[in-house]
Amino acid sequence: MKNIALRLMYDGSRYHGWQTQKKEITVQQTLEQAIEKAGLGKVHVTGCGRTDAGVHALRYCANFKSECRIPLDKLPLAINSYLPADIAVRAACEAEENFNAIGSCIKKEYIYKIHNSNLRDPFLEKRACFYPQRLDVEKMNAAAHAFEGTHDFAAVRSVGTETKTTVRTVWWCGAEREGDLITVRVCADGFLYNMARAMVGTMVYASYGKLEPEDIPLLLEKGDRRLTGPTMPPQGLYLNRIWYEGPVGDMMAD
C-alpha cells in the first residue's frame, strides 16, 4: 500500500470549499471521484486544510493510500483526465508511511487580493475582492506587521471548527500595491477558521483609522472578535504555499 501525495491547484469559485458535504459540490469529493475513475480504487483523500466556499488554491497538498500501479510521473495525467478544468493535479510522489497532508504541514502562506479601483474588472470578479474606496497600503502594512509573532488569535477567527488552542505563530504578514491590485501575504504555522480574511479586514479598518496598528496587540490580548475588522469575502483568498519535510516538501517546492 502506497501513501501517495498530490500537489494540486484549483479555482474554488464553484465549489463549496474543500471538505466533502452531503448536498454541495466540493473539491475533495470531486478529486476522490476522479481518482476512483482513474482506476486507483475508492479512496479517502486527506487535504492540507479546509478552504472555504469560493476560496482558491495555487498550491494544495492532499494524500491518500492506494495499491497504485500507475507510474507516479503519469499519475497527474491519469487523474486529470477525469477532473473538471478548474482543478488540476500538478505532481505526485510517494510519501513516507506516516505522512499526513494536514498533520505533517510545517507552515502555510495565504495571499489575499483586493482590486482597489472605482471601476469593476469582470475578469477579477471571482478572483479578487472588489473594493472601490481608496485604501492606504502603508497603514495596512503597518497593521499587518502587528500580527507577526506568537499570539492568541481568537480575536480574528469566526465561530466554527473547535481547536485545542487558538495560539498561532505568524511568520510574516504584509501588504503591497501594484497598480489597482493590493496583495496581502500572511504565513503562519496554522490558521483558525476565517483567520486570514479577518486579519485582512482588520488591516482595512486600519486604513480608515477605525483602529490604529499599535492597537492590534491589545485587541489580540482581549480576544474579542467584535473589536477587530470584518471577515473579507472569500474570492480574494488563495492558499499560495505549503511547507513539508522530505519528498513531499521537495515536490511542493518545485
Could you give the CA distance from residue 20 to residue 16 in angstroms, rounded to a whole number? 9
Are 18 and 26 contacting, i.e. CB atoms less than 8 angstroms apart?
Answer: yes
The vertex-222 CA angle with 209 and 170, nearest 5°, equals 75
Are 227 and 157 contacting, i.e. CB atoms less than 8 angstroms apart?
Answer: no
The H or E element that residue 46 is part of is strand 46-47
Q: Say whether 164 sits in a helix, a strand or coil.
A: coil
Q: Which three cell numbers stand for residue 231?
A: 471577515
**Backbone torsion region of residue 39, taken as left when φ is above 0, otherwise alpha when ψ lies between -120 and 50, otherwise beta:** left
Could you give the CA distance from residue 195 to residue 157 in angstroms, rounded to a whole number? 5
Question: Is 224 a residue of the active site?
Answer: no
Which of 11, 52, 86, 215 does the annotation list as catalytic? 52
- Angle at which helix 195-207 crosses helix 137-146, to 10 degrees, equals 130
Q: Which residues are catalytic?
A: 52
